[in-house]
Structure 1
Amino acid sequence: MPLRLSAALLPLIFAGAAFALPGMQSADVTKRVKLMTQIRDTTVQLSKMARGDTAFDGDQAARLAQLLRADTAAIPIHFEFQVIDPQSRARPEIWTDWVAFEQAAARSQAVADALQTETPQQMRRGLATLERTCRQCHRQYRVGD
């Protein structure tokens, strides 16, 4: 898949997260959705810089990458408790196979930790890897993927 098309799919990987808040009954699930939405939004901003859709700003890219690192590190914390909400897209497999879920989250964190932001080319490579990692996790642990 060409990178331009691949980067254009990033919002679709996280699609639905921003729309899950209305009617949500659980504060824990709302926090999870907000975290995932922030990861999506940060990734989209970095992707736009990497593709040249917005001006490349190394300092801004580094700040966004740091936010992405912190947010991916927080994924397991936001899923520690099995809280199901009618609006949640989390699959029960998250909790029935917690070790595998933690490993998937750790892969996302490792990819975010390795993200280079000095040049758009470095970011494109790292973001393509992050996209694959996110997509794999969502297929396994998110309803509708």
Structure 2
Amino acid sequence: MAAGEIAARQEAMKGVGGAMKAIKAAVEGNTAADAVGPAGKIAATMKSVPDLFAKTSDTGETYAKPEIWTEWDKFKEAAANSGAAADKLAMVAKTGDAAATGEALKALGGTCGACHKPYRTPKT
């Protein structure tokens, strides 16, 4: 069971990474309208982040640190911060303002890092 949960979690996070790259490309190309779909995908995924970390998925081929489960409330707060930033990005992208979308993407990236640093083992 854990292997399937871990794979689903990793796939979701890869999807977020791909969507962030697509948004960056839209911002750099000054086509913020192209960021709307990927931003919505990120916002939807971020709402489910705590659900992706079931206690049964704490061992196996994972980069998730044990601190996720020992500091569950802090982890959920960090995930909620990312969720709020993702919602803002989705809202800003709809305005078509590439500069503002870029700033919202940067803010989201900061919240992702704030969660990854304490709760994810660096990939080597």
Confirm or deny: 8 A CA contact 1:72 1:108 kept in the other structure: yes
How far residue 27 of structure 1 moved from its aligned partner, in angstroms, is 0.3
**1:140 matched to 2:92:** no
How many residues are paired up?
A: 118
1:129 is matched with which residue: 77, 84, 107?
Answer: 107
Normalising by structure 2, we get a TM-score of 0.88
Among residues 32, 57, 65, which one is paired with 1:91 in the alignment?
A: 65
% identical equivalent positions: 27
State which of 12, 18, 26 in structure 2 corresponds to 1:35: 12
User: Tell me, what secondary structure is at the counterpart of 2:57?
Assistant: coil
Which runs of structure 1 show a deviation greater than 3 angstroms over 4 or more consecutive aligned residues?
Answer: none
Show structure 1 runs of 5+ residues with no match: 1-24
- Report whether the alignment pairs 1:76 with 2:54: no
Local SS of the residue matching 1:112? helix
Report deviation, 1:82: 3.8
- With over 3 angstroms needed to count, the CA separation of the structure-2 counterparts of 1:34 and 1:134, relative to structure 1, is same
What runs of 5+ residues in structure 2 fail to find an aligned partner?
A: none
Q: Between Structure 1 and Structure 2, which shows a larger proportion of helix residues?
A: 2
